[in-house]
Amino acid sequence: MSNFTEFQFKPFIMDAIQKLGFKEPTPIQKEMIPLILEGKSAIGQAHTGTGKTHAFLLPIVQRIDTGKQEVQAVITSPTRELATQIYERLKEIIEGTEITAKLLIGGTDKQRLMEKLKNQPHIVVGTPGRIHDLVKENALLVHKAPILVVDEADLAFDMGFIEEIDGFAARMPEKLEMYVFSATIPVKLQPFLNKYMESPAHIKINDRKPVAEGIEFFLVPIRSKNRSDKLLEVCKTINPFLCLIFCNTRKTADEVASFLSENGIRTGEIHGDLTPRERKKMMKQIRDLEFQYIVATDLAARGIDIEGVSHVINYEIPEDLEFFVHRVGRTARAGLEGTAITLYGPDDEDALDRIDEKLGIPFKHRDVKDGEWIELKDRQARKKRVKQEDELDKVAKALVRKPKKVKPGYKKAMQKEMQKIKKKLKKSKR
Cα separation, 315 vs 210, whole angstroms:
22
Q: Per mean pLDDT, which range of 51-55, 197-201, 224-228, 405-409 is the poorest?
A: 405-409
CATH for 209-375 is 3.40.50.300
Task: Specify the higher pLDDT residue, 415 or 138.
Answer: 138
* pLDDT of res. 40: 96
- pLDDT tens-place string over residues 318-356: 887 778 888 888 888 767 889 999 999 999 998 998 888
User: Residue-wise over 236-248: b if at least 16 C-beta within 10 A, else e?
Assistant: ebbebebbbbbbb
* pLDDT of res. 385: 47
* Homologous superfamily in CATH for domain 3-204: P-loop containing nucleotide triphosphate hydrolases (3.40.50.300)
| pLDDT, averaged across the chain | 87
Angle at 22 between CA 19 and CA 28, to 5 degrees: 140
What does the pLDDT average to over 199-227?
83
pLDDT band at residue 48 using 50, 70 and 90 as cut-offs: low
What phi and psi values does residue 351 have, to the nearest 5 degrees?
Answer: -65, -40
What does the pLDDT average to over 180-199?
88
Coil, strand or helix: which one is 1?
A: coil
pLDDT band at residue 59 using 50, 70 and 90 as cut-offs: very high
What does the pLDDT average to over 125-147?
96
* pLDDT of res. 233: 95
What does the pLDDT average to over 140-151?
97
* pLDDT of res. 1: 41
pLDDT band at residue 222 using 50, 70 and 90 as cut-offs: very high
In this predicted structure, the answer to whether residue 201 has a pLDDT above a threshold of 50 is: yes
pLDDT band at residue 315 using 50, 70 and 90 as cut-offs: very high
User: Could you give the residue range(s) of every CATH 3.40.50.300 domain in the chain?
Assistant: 3-204, 209-375
Coil, strand or helix: which one is 227?
A: helix
What does the pLDDT average to over 401-425?
68
- pLDDT tens-place string over residues 232-269: 999 999 999 999 999 998 899 999 999 999 999 999 99
* pLDDT of res. 291: 94
Alpha helices in 104-181 (DSSP H): 110-116, 128-136, 153-158, 162-169
pLDDT band at residue 63 using 50, 70 and 90 as cut-offs: very high
pLDDT band at residue 210 using 50, 70 and 90 as cut-offs: very low
What does the pLDDT average to over 52-76?
97
What phi and psi values does residue 118 have, to the nearest 5 degrees?
Answer: -60, -35
- pLDDT tens-place string over residues 377-409: 988 765 544 444 456 566 656 666 656 665 666
Whole-model pTM over 0.85: no
Burial grade of 295 (CB within 10 A; 0-12, 13-18, 19 or more): buried
